[in-house]
Amino acid sequence: MKEVVVGIITTPGLPKKLLEDILDRLKDTAGNSIDEEKNWQVEYRTDILTGSAEFVNEIFDKVETIKENNGWDMAIAISDLPSISDRKAVLSDFNYDEKISLISVPALGVFRNKKKLEELLLHHIEVLYGTHDPEDTEKVQPNFISKLIEVTPEEEGESKHRYVIKSKLGGWIRLVTGMTYLNEPWKELGNFKTIVALSFATGTYISIFRTPWELSLDYSLWRFILLMIIAVFGMVGWLIYAHNIWEKRTTKNQPAYRRLYNFTTILTLLTLTIVNYFAVSLLITVSVLLFVPMGLFETWTEVEHDVEWADYLSLIWFASSGGILAGAFGSTVEEEEKIRNITYSYRQMYRHKKLKEEQEQAEQSPESKEDEEYSGEKQSHDAADEEEK
């Protein structure tokens, strides 16, 4: 029985974890529905692939080299880099002749990522094996996305094709939320211990004075909401400003990717701040219940009715928002490396640096000098393909 070897290459981090979780099922199902007369084998490797999204086109060259070195029949790369073609999100790229393809994990969005990746990998195997008819787009689309367009990249040869998400807005939402998910913000909560401690201390300090009690009783609902929004976005804005993590315009990045990185930074920090807000609220709840007796609450304030639990909730809400505002300005005490590490672009710069080091070692000669101008290739596709479909 002839053997068909499918090689899968994944970048480190969450894409690797997603693949490892589905690898056993993938090995059991890969190829069986395509050709039962062949013995299908699935192997995988981990590789940096490329340093930044602007150089995503270089992945194909590297994947082809890895495929040849390992003697694979086909190779599929799974990257955590976003990919954009004519301002539309790219899900996949194929090179039918070389039997290689690339999947951009951020375009999968947030929900059901393992299932989506499994279906997409099976689909790629089917396409690269040769059972795919490029003229019949409707039949080749994975089940979880119904609005893909198969286009021909203008910067590539005729053997290369690309899946882009038809909706520009929907594609960008998928990319930003997917990149935020790949940032794994839940892992960074421990890096905000100092901010949470300072917010809690400030909120507790606020809650033992009479004036905040009276303000919490007088505030209307919209004022509480406004104060909370100011506190949350104040924290996000200050973190970005204090640690200089806003991607600025340079000759080495494309505007589309720069906007993606900045949107992702905002959403990542916003997620972390909201989680911290609830954590501080829980801590202040315990503090208020311990240090603000109900009888004292009544005598120290000009409340016209008996103090109720709802009044405590108002005080907790007020103190939590005030504490988060103080925590924002205290965020500068956190190590800058910790804060910057949660941003997407920072990790890509680190990987780009490591990749260059690997290339220098492989060539056994120092690189002449750093690129002074942007040299990444801007992706585009034939607009006529969209009009036809």
Domain of 221? 184-342
Q: Phi and psi for 316 in degrees, rounded to 5?
A: -65, -45
What number is the average pLDDT over the span 333-350?
A: 64
pLDDT: which is higher, 373 or 329: 329
Tell me how many domains the chain contains: 2
Residues 330, 194: Cα–Cα separation, whole Å: 8
CB atoms within 10 A of CB 376: 19
What number is the average pLDDT over the span 3-15?
A: 86
Non-local (6+) Cβ contacts of 188 within 8 A are 272, 338, 341, 342
Residues 270, 233: Cα–Cα separation, whole Å: 7
Could you tell me if residue 192 is inside a domain?
Answer: yes
Q: What average pLDDT does the chain have?
A: 77
pLDDT at site 358: 60
CB atoms within 10 A of CB 148: 21
Residues 336, 309: Cα–Cα separation, whole Å: 41
- List 151's β-bridge partners, or say none: 162
Query: Would you place residue 151 in the very low, low, confident or very high pLDDT band (cuts 50, 70, 90)?
Result: confident
Residue 136 and residue 217 in one domain: no
CB atoms within 10 A of CB 285: 16
Contact (CB, 8 A) for 183 and 82: no
Unique residue bearing structure tokens 């990749």: 355
- Is 335's pLDDT higher than 70? no
Tell me 186's DSSP state.
G
pLDDT: which is higher, 29 or 76: 76
Query: Would you place residue 301 in the very low, low, confident or very high pLDDT band (cuts 50, 70, 90)?
Result: low
pLDDT: which is higher, 297 or 182: 182
Lowest mean pLDDT among 118-132, 264-278, 352-366: 352-366
Cα torsion 339, 340, 341, 342 to 10°: value is 70
Could you tell me if residue 249 is inside a domain?
Answer: yes
Residue 188 and residue 152 in one domain: no
Residue type, 45: R
Taking only the tens place, the pLDDT of each residue in 55-78 is: 666 788 888 888 888 889 889 999
- Is 28's pLDDT higher than 60? yes
Could you tell me if residue 14 is inside a domain?
Answer: yes
Residue 192 and residue 325 in one domain: yes
pLDDT: which is higher, 368 or 299: 299
Upper half-sphere CA count for residue 271 (Cβ side, 13 Å) = 20
Could you tell me the sign of the dihedral formed by the alpha carbons of 325, 329, 331, 333, in that order? negative
Non-local (6+) Cβ contacts of 333 within 8 A are 194, 198
Could you tell me if residue 151 is inside a domain?
Answer: yes
pLDDT: which is higher, 106 or 252: 106
Query: Would you place residue 32 in the very low, low, confident or very high pLDDT band (cuts 50, 70, 90)?
Result: low
pLDDT at site 369: 42
Lowest mean pLDDT among 212-226, 241-255, 349-363: 349-363
Residue 241, sorted as left (phi over 0), alpha (psi -120 to 50) or beta, turns out to be: alpha
pLDDT at site 367: 47
Taking only the tens place, the pLDDT of each residue in 352-389 is: 566 566 666 666 544 444 444 444 556 666 555 565 55
Asked which of 175, 206, 223 is the last residue of a domain, the reply is: 175
- Is 159's pLDDT higher than 70? no
What number is the average pLDDT over the span 103-113?
A: 87
Residue 68 and residue 202 in one domain: no
Non-local (6+) Cβ contacts of 81 within 8 A are 11, 49, 50, 52, 53, 56, 104, 106, 348
pLDDT at site 345: 56
Query: Would you place residue 230 in the very low, low, confident or very high pLDDT band (cuts 50, 70, 90)?
Result: very high
Q: Phi and psi for 21 in degrees, rounded to 5?
A: -70, -25
pLDDT at site 374: 43
Could you tell me if residue 349 is inside a domain?
Answer: no
Contact (CB, 8 A) for 18 and 113: yes
Could you tell me if residue 363 is inside a domain?
Answer: no
Tokens of 14: 């969450």
> β-pairing, 84-85 with 39-46?
unpaired
Q: Phi and psi for 347 in degrees, rounded to 5?
A: -65, -35
Q: CATH number for the domain including 154? A: 3.40.390
- Is 332's pLDDT higher than 80? no
Could you tell me if residue 306 is inside a domain?
Answer: yes
Residue 152 and residue 190 in one domain: no
What number is the average pLDDT over the span 149-158?
A: 67
In percent, the amount of the chain with pLDDT more than 90 equals 5
- Is 226's pLDDT higher than 90? yes
- Is 200's pLDDT higher than 60? yes
Residue 205 and residue 321 in one domain: yes
What number is the average pLDDT over the span 230-247?
A: 85
If you average pLDDT over each of 31-35, 83-87, 194-198, 277-281, which comes out highest? 277-281
Residues 93, 128: Cα–Cα separation, whole Å: 11
- Is 229's pLDDT higher than 80? yes
Contact (CB, 8 A) for 165 and 92: no
Residue 106 and residue 21 in one domain: yes
State the first-to-last Cα distance of the chain, in angstroms, to the nearest integer: 40
Residues 68, 62: Cα–Cα separation, whole Å: 10
